[in-house]
Structure 1
Amino acid sequence: MGINLSMLGAKLGKYRDQLQETIAEVAAATGIEPARLASIEAGNLEPTGDEVLILADYFQCDFKFFISNERVAPFEQTETLYRAHGQDFTKSDRRAVQEFLYLCETEAFLLSELGRSGTEFVFSPTGNFMKAHGEEAARALRVAHGYSDREVPRDVYAEIRRAGVHLFRRRLGNSNISGLFIKHPVAGKCALVNYSEDIYRQRFSAAHEMAHAIFDADQVASVTYERPTGGDLREVRANRFASCFIMPPAFLAGLPSPRQWTDAVAIEWANKLRVSCHALGIALRAANLISEERSQQIQRLRVPRDAKLDPELQEGLSAAQRERKAHLLQLGLSDFYVGLCFDALKEGVISVGRLSEALLSSRAELASLASLYGRSLNAT
């Protein structure tokens, strides 16, 4: 069966429209003449094999998708996303979301090829009280991962990945967006956390998106805002899940009496739990351990920025290494994902060229990346 040129052109046009780019911009970036690109998009001209590869690389999707007659595509999910929230995503943010989806699909492929696909966490709520659903699901996930009701997960990101969710942190220009969840047609459950947020807020946002993966996957795509409007019970449930997963009620009940805490002690406990004072104040009030007035006071406190720890920025890094890794995290390149890519190279699953694509880098940059992560560019 030959390529359906009309369908191929429609796919190209859809991607371009979602990224809010003109034919001239795509032509300038890809080196394909504008008139030729317009004819391909109109379904009047069949692209060469090289042009298909160039366009697939530019729009960051599998080239097989363009040349097949398959209709299902990630842009159908992002179309739903932008239809409801398009005004909140700048042109650069749309490109960031596209790269995020590419990383999710690549990660899913590598996990499958290496035989490391995680076990998807499944939870069936009972009753109609949605906050209780969040609390019960948090407890169930903790049990599934071997935590007691008094243990605090230190690396929330790792726990969410263990639950079968592709989680990436990526900087977005709109600081009011905390994160988003998308059910990718190939990769499955995917969550993005805005790296522009405070480090501890990112942990809460990641757990919040995990709740959407548990309860709201059938919604296809959703956006979480730092300053939400309205009283969406799904957001209330997700917040309750995040709070109970990161700050288990049983753990909070065993703390030295929070009613006696000074501001300094409240900040100390927030830092130990790696949460914002805002989240801690709300959780203590929900557990009926402090008054509403004291909750508001704690919520206004701040953990000093230089005291906060990021589990994906290990201690012992030099200043230059830390800055470099932080930049890579902003692009979505977590230690987990980067390690997976180098493992795939070592096992012969991907080539050096494919590695550079997966790491959003040029081949010239691979040597420095390998050195930064203590890895090798030699395949077995």
Structure 2
Amino acid sequence: MNLQTLGTKLSKYRSQVTQTVEEVAKATGIESSRVRSIESGVQEPTGDEILILADHYRCDFKFFISDEQSTPFEQTEILYRAHGRDFSKEDRIAIQEFLYLCDTEEFLMQELGRRTQPFSFQRTGTYLKGHGEAAAAAFRTAMGHNDRQVPRDIYEEFRSAGVHVFRRKLGNSAISGLFIMHPTAGKCALVNYSEDIYRQRFSAAHEMAHAIFDSASGPRVTYFQTQGLDMLEVRANRFASCYLMPPEVLRRLPEPIVWSEADAQRWANEFRVSCDALGIALKEAKLADARSSKRIRGYRVPRESKLDPELPDSLNDAQRKRKTALLERGLSDHYVGLCFDGYKQGVISLGRLAEALLCSRAELSELSKLYGRSLYVN
């Protein structure tokens, strides 16, 4: 184990989450003087200390004790260099956990033999909005949708195409999501769970577009309101709009000019989008004039009417509240189920299961009951 390399890695991780040595010491129980010595390469950490620090930074301990340099650190460094002021310390930790979840999900998928079907699209010409529209149509076909079907659980669809999609609460409500190409997990998309449920769907589809078109262009941050004319963002928005609200489906709707508020809310809910997104799509498809589009965009779908595939109506109030709290941390049904399957099949230990679910061993019992899973393995 190269102590200088290890120290550099630990120092970089601490810098990225903007923590002081004293904060790391308090969180880990390792004395601050020893943290400094380990980071400077003067002292060799114990095995337990490496495990504790790896858990603190949500990183595989094997990375710290090897000479391997491949790490999502390079991607997040680019991210923070360009958008650092937009991420609080808490948001940086959330992103670190998000990348850890992506890496864990990829590992479990591989070990359990869960296969995905990566989607590729061959663009032609230089019209970027056209790329987005054509890719949306091609992806709908790949997902088995006919020309009248509206996607429902888009999160599962994107996961089936090999993209790690996690919804996670961020403090900055101006950020809708981000896309990062993880060195081992591959394409990873984070959707801000602080947003409206239907806005999250649009953001997820937007990040899927970045996964299709921009995976080699470095990390991308998507803001609720784009500053300036970024054509890559325009293309991603066009993909999201056409995937969630296919133009051929929009053309079958009644004339928008005669819609009442209830009509607009009904159709927006049918597409699982906001009235704002629907109004823009109708105008883009030349099915509504500027006045009608503006009127429709001004309506709101009542919160209680909105549907979330990861929070079905079958849940009781207590279950819904608990699963909402889990989603805020990125723990979807898909991911939690994968973790329990990994434990059941002996891929991960009980302790590793707790780490993967970002909880203590004591909390595992409650989670197992919530998901109807057993912690006992024959």
User: Could you state the TM-score of these two structures normalised by the residue count of structure 1?
Assistant: 0.98
The one-letter amino acid paired with 1:14 is: K
Per-residue CA deviations over 1:255-304 (Å, capped at 9, x if unaligned) read 12222211210111101111000000001111111101110111111000
| Rounded Cα–Cα distance in structure 1 between residues aligned with 2:298 and 2:7 | 53
| 1:173 alignment counterpart | 171
Equivalent of residue 252 in structure 2, options 236, 247, 254: 254
Alignment check: 8 A CA contact 2:132 2:236 kept: yes
Residue 66 of structure 1 corresponds to which residue in structure 2? 64
What secondary structure is seen at the aligned counterpart in 1 of 2:178? strand
Distance 1:165 1:124 in 2: 18
In the alignment, which of 118, 134, 137 is matched to residue 136 of structure 1? 134
Deviations 1:87-125 (A, max 9, x none): 000000000000000000000000000010312111111
Following the alignment from structure 1 to structure 2, what is the Cα–Cα distance between the partners of residues 279 and 378? 47
> In the alignment, what sits opposite 1:295?
293
Report if aligned partners of 1:39, 1:45 keep a CA contact under 8 Å in 2: yes
Q: CA RMSD in A?
A: 0.8
CA distance in 1, matches of 2:147, 2:376: 44
Q: Which residue of 2 aligns with 1:316?
A: 314
Residue 361 of structure 2 is matched in structure 1 by: 363
For residues 361 and 199 of structure 2, the distance between their equivalents in structure 1, rounded to whole angstroms, comes to: 34
2:303 alignment counterpart: 305
Cα distance in structure 1, aligned partners of 2:353 and 2:78: 31
Q: What is the letter of the counterpart of residue 295 of structure 1? A: S
* Alignment check: 8 A CA contact 2:256 2:292 kept: no
- Give the distance between the partners of 1:156 and 1:162, measured in 2 at CA: 10
Which residue, 254, 258, 263 being the options, matches 1:265? 263
- Give 1:216's aligned residue: 214
Q: 2:272 aligns with which of 274, 286, 295?
A: 274
Number of the residue aligned with 2:107: 109
Equivalent residue number for residue 351 of structure 2: 353
Using the TM superposition, give the Cα deviation of residue 379 of structure 1 relative to its aligned residue in structure 2, in angstroms. Answer: 2.5
Match of 1:161 in 2: 159
1:284 aligns with 2:291: no
Secondary structure of the residue aligned to 1:179 is strand
Which residue of structure 2 aligns with residue 204 of structure 1?
Answer: 202
Query: What is aligned with 1:228?
Result: 226
Q: Do residues 50 (structure 1) and 48 (structure 2) align?
A: yes
Tell me, yes or no, if structure 1 residue 24 matches structure 2 residue 34.
no
Counterpart of 1:13 (choices 4, 11, 14) is 11
Of 79-88 and 28-37, the range deviating more from structure 2: 28-37
CA distance in 2, matches of 1:316, 1:144: 30
- Distance, in Å, in 1 between the alignment partners of 2:371 and 2:312 is 11
Give CA-to-partner distance per residue, 1:333-374, whole Å, 9 cap, x none: 000000111111111111111110000000001111011111
Quote the Cα distance in structure 2 between the aligned partners of 1:360 and 1:37: 23
Q: Distance in 2 between matches of 1:318 and 1:244?
A: 34
Q: Which amino acid aligns with 2:43?
A: L
Structure 1 gap segments, 5+ residues each: none
2:324 is aligned, of 316, 326, 335, to 326
* Counterpart for residue 189 of structure 1: 187
* Aligned counterpart for 1:241 among listed residues 239, 242, 245: 239
Which stretches in structure 2 are left out of the alignment for 5+ residues? none
> What is the percentage of aligned positions where both structures have the same residue?
65
In 2, Cα distance between equivalents of 1:50 and 1:378: 26
Q: 1:89-108 residue pairs with structure 2 within 5 A?
A: 89-108=87-106
Q: Distance in 1 between matches of 2:125 and 2:294?
A: 31
**Partner SS, residue 273 of structure 2:** coil
Q: In the aligned structure 1, how far is the partner of 2:121 from the partner of 2:348?
A: 35
Length, aligned pairs only: 378
Q: Secondary structure at the match of 1:219?
A: coil
